Amino acid sequence: MTDSNIVVYLVRGDLRVGDNPITHELATSPDHGFTHALPTYIIPANQVEVSGLIQDGSESPFPEARSLVGGYWRNGPHRVKFLAESVSNLKTSLEALGSGLAIRVGMVGDVVRNLVSGLTDQNQKVGAVWMVDLEGSEEKRDQEAVASFCKQAGMDFKLWTDEKYFIDDRDVGLKSHKDVPDVFTDYRKSKEPLRELPRAVLPTPEKGSLPPFPDNSVIPGQSPPFVIPETRQELIEALVKPVKNFLEALPEFPERATSAHPFEGGETAAHDRLNHLILSDGMKNYKNTRNGLIGTEFSTKLSAFLALGCITARQIHHALLGYEDGTNTAFKDADGYGAGESEGTAGIRFELLWRDYMRLCHQKFGDKIFRLQGFKSYVDEKKPKWKFPVKENAEPDQDPDPDTISKMLSRFVAGTTGMGLIDASQRELIHTGYTSNRARQNVASFFAKHLGIDWRYGAEWYEMLLVDYDVSSNWANWQYVAGVGNDPRGDLRIFNPVKQAFDYDKDGSYVRSWVPELSKLEKLENVFQAWTASEEDLKAAGLQDNIMVTNPIKKIKFSVEGKPVKLSKRPFFRRRGQQGRGAGPVSPGGSEGKDGVGGGSDDGQGHNNHHETSGGGGEKTQRIPYRTNDRGGSPRGGGRGGGGSSSYRGGQRGYLSGSGGGRGGGQGRPRGGGGGRFGGPPATIQAGGQQPQQNHAQLQTDV
C-alpha cells in the first residue's frame, strides 16, 4: 500500500449507505483518485458518556457528558442504545459492500489527528477527510477543528451538504439564512406544492463499488484507556451502563403498558418501518392516527431514524411517490395504490417540511436557540419571569422559592405532578425513550407556562431521554411552546392538559397504563387529576396519602358538561366578554393552521383547537388562560462555564478546550460536576421521595 491514497470519511448524522452523497461519489466517480476509503464513526465524548468503554479501571480523561443547565446526561440509555444499533447496522452494511467502519471514541478533532498521524507513520498517504455539514455549535466546532488540521497537514478537506432533509439546501431559494421567514406559514406557502420539490434519491452503492477498506494492520487502534467492543451487544451494554440509573429510584415498567417505540436503530430497520407504514395503510391514514397515544401504529415513528440519518426525508417522499403513482409494485397490495396523493401522505410531507424549517431557523438564529430568552434575545420586563431551582439564578423574592422549584422539578421529571396526562407521558418517556407528539406539546406547555420554570430544564430532559432527539427540532420547538421562539402569539398559547386528556385519552387508557396507581379510579376527571376524587374513592384506590393527591404541583379547575367535546371544535375556556376569532396555536409539530382559523392540531393542517387560548371556531368569546403566578426571566450572574453568557449554552456548547463560557468551562472542569453550567440541581435530585431523571428531548414532529 505504498502508493495508497486514503480518504477518511467521518460519519456523523448520516448513518446509512443509501441516498448518501459521499458513498455515491466514492462508488460512481471515475476520478476521485482514492485507492482506499476509511469510513469512521467517532463516539463524541462531549455528547455521549464513554466511561463504560473503559475496562481496566482507569479514570476517563473526559468530563462527564452532562447538560449545562440541569446537569442531566446528554445521551440517556434509550438514545445510546438506538445509536449503537444504528452504528452497528451501518458497519454491517458497509462490510457487505466490501468496505468497513472504524469505530473510535474521543473528541473528533483529536481522533482525526491521531488517525491520520498513525496512518502516515505506516507510510500510508491520507489524501482527504470528508464529512457532512451538521447543525449545532458543537458539531460546527468539530468541523472547524478537522478543517484546521487538514490545512496544516496539507490535506484536502471537504464539507458535504447534509442531504437527509426534504428540500435540499441548494433548492430552498433563499439568498442567506437571514432570509428564512420568522413564521412557518410564510415559508410553507413559498414551497407548495410540496410533492414537486425534493431531489431524486441517490442509489445505494453496489457491492464492490466502493474503494476497499484499508488493511487493519495499518489502521491505528483506539487510544487508551478506551476499548471498542467487538460486537453490537457489547457496544450497547458499554454505552448504556453508565447512564442507565439516571433516576435513583427508577419505577418498574407498568404491567399494562407497552412501548410505542420498540424499534431498533439502523438503516435496515428504518426501511422496514417505512415499507410497513405504506403496506399497512399507515401513511394513507396518517392524518387520522397521528394524535394517538398508545401503540406502534399511531404516527410514523420515523423521527428517530431521520434524526441519525438512517433514512432521508426524500427517501420517504420517493417511497410515497411509488405508492401514490402506482409505479412501485412492492406496494401494489396497499389500499390507495396508484390513487395519487392522499390527505395522509400530504400530511407526511407537511411534517417533513416542518423539520426542515426548524433546522433553517437554527441556521438563522444560531446559538440563540439555546438562550433562555429565545430567538428574540431580549427581556421584556412586562413579561413573566422564569423561576429557577437554584438561588444563584433566582430573584431574591422568587415565589415559589428555589428549593420549592427544585422539588417541583424533581416531581415533574419523575411523573408525580398530579396531572395525569403529564405524569403518564413522563413515565412513558422514562421507560421507553418515546412519547407522542401530542403528549410532548402538553408537557412543554405545562412546564413552561403553567409552572413557569426555566424551559431549558425541560428541553435538556428531553435531550437526554428522547430516542428521536434532534438538536434543531428539540430546542426550536421548546422555544416555540415556551413563548420565546418564532410563534407569533408567544405567551398567549397555553394547553389545558386536563381538557387535552379528555380529548385524546377518551377512556383514560393511556394514563391508567402508565400511572397504574390511578387505574382503580373510575371517573375520568379523577384519573386526569386525582385530587378531585372523593375521599371515599381515594381510600378505595389506596391513594388517600399519595403525594399526587395530597400535594399536586398544579390544580386546574375543569368541569365537563355532558360528554367531553369530540376533538374539541373549540378549546376549553372561561367565557367573558366578546372577542373575535383567533388563530389556532402551533404545536411542536405543526403550523399556525389554515387561514389562521382553527389551527393548532399538531399536523398543522387547520384542524381543531385544543388549547385554552387558541382561536375558536367563529363563536365570539374571550379565552381567559389559566396562569400561575410564576414569573421568569434570565438568570442573574455568570454560569459555571467561566465567563460565558449566562443566558445560553455558554460561549461554547461542549467540553472543548477553549476559552469563554463553554460547558463547565472547557476541559478544566473536574469530572463529575453534575450541577450544570448554571449550578442547577445535580443529576439525581431528591424531593418528596421521588428521583428526577435526566434528559433532553425534543418536541419534534412524528416524522
What order do you get walking across the sheet with 126-132 strand by strand? 102-106, 36-44, 6-11, 126-132, 156-160
Report the DSSP beta bridge partners of residue 38: 8
Give the torsion through C-alpha atoms of 545, 546, 548, 553, to 10 deg.
Answer: 60
User: How far apart, in whole angstroms, are the C-alpha atoms of residue 71 and residue 77?
Assistant: 16
Alpha-carbon gap, residue 148 to 656, rounded angstroms: 15
Q: Are 677 and 641 in contact (CB under 8 A)?
A: yes
Residues sharing a CB contact under 8 Å with residue 117, sequence separation 6 or more, in sequence order: 220
Q: How many CB atoms lie within 10 A of CB 206?
A: 11
**Residues that constitute the known binding site for FAD:** 286, 299-303, 468-470
Dist. CA 567–CA 570, nearest whole Å: 9
Cell of 244: 442507565
CA 96, CA 100: separation in Å to the nearest integer?
8
What residue type is 44 in one-letter code? P
**Residue ranges in 199-266 assigned as alpha helix (H):** 232-240
Calculate the CA 572 to chain-centre distance: 29
**Which 3 state secondary structure label does DSSP give 299?**
coil
CB atoms within 10 A of CB 343: 13
Angle between helices 455-465 and 77-96 (to 10 degrees): 40
Helix (H) / strand (E) element for 519: namely none
Residues 6+ apart with CB under 8 A from 101: 11, 39, 40, 41, 87, 90, 91, 94, 95
Q: Is the dihedral of CA 383, 407, 438, 168 positive or negative?
A: positive
Per the rule left: phi > 0, alpha: psi between -120 and 50, beta: everything else, 67 is beta
Q: What is the 3-state secondary structure (H, E, C) of 117-144?
A: HHHHHCCCCEEEEEEECCCCHHHHHHHH
CA distance 375 to 124: 47
Measured CA to CA, the distance from residue 585 to residue 573 in angstroms comes to 14
Judged by DSSP in three states, 146 sits in helix
Question: CA 643, 646, 650: angle at the middle one, nearest 5?
Answer: 65
Residues 537, 525: Cα–Cα separation, whole Å? 12
Distance CA 449, CA 641 (A): 28
φ, ψ dihedrals at 180, nearest 5°: -65, 125
Going by their DSSP bridges, the two strands 102-106 and 36-44 should be labelled as parallel
What is the SS3 string spanning 345-378? HHHHHHHHHHHHHHHHHHHHHHHHHHCCCHHHCC
Q: For residues 179 and 534, give the distance between their C-alpha atoms in angstroms, rounded to a whole number.
A: 57
Dig out the grid coordinates for 52 from the structure.
Answer: 463504560
Distances (CA, A) of 406 to 429, 453, 632, 669, 681: 20, 10, 15, 24, 7
CA triple 535-539-545, angle to 5 deg: 90
Q: Which residues are annotated as a binding site?
A: 286, 299-303, 468-470
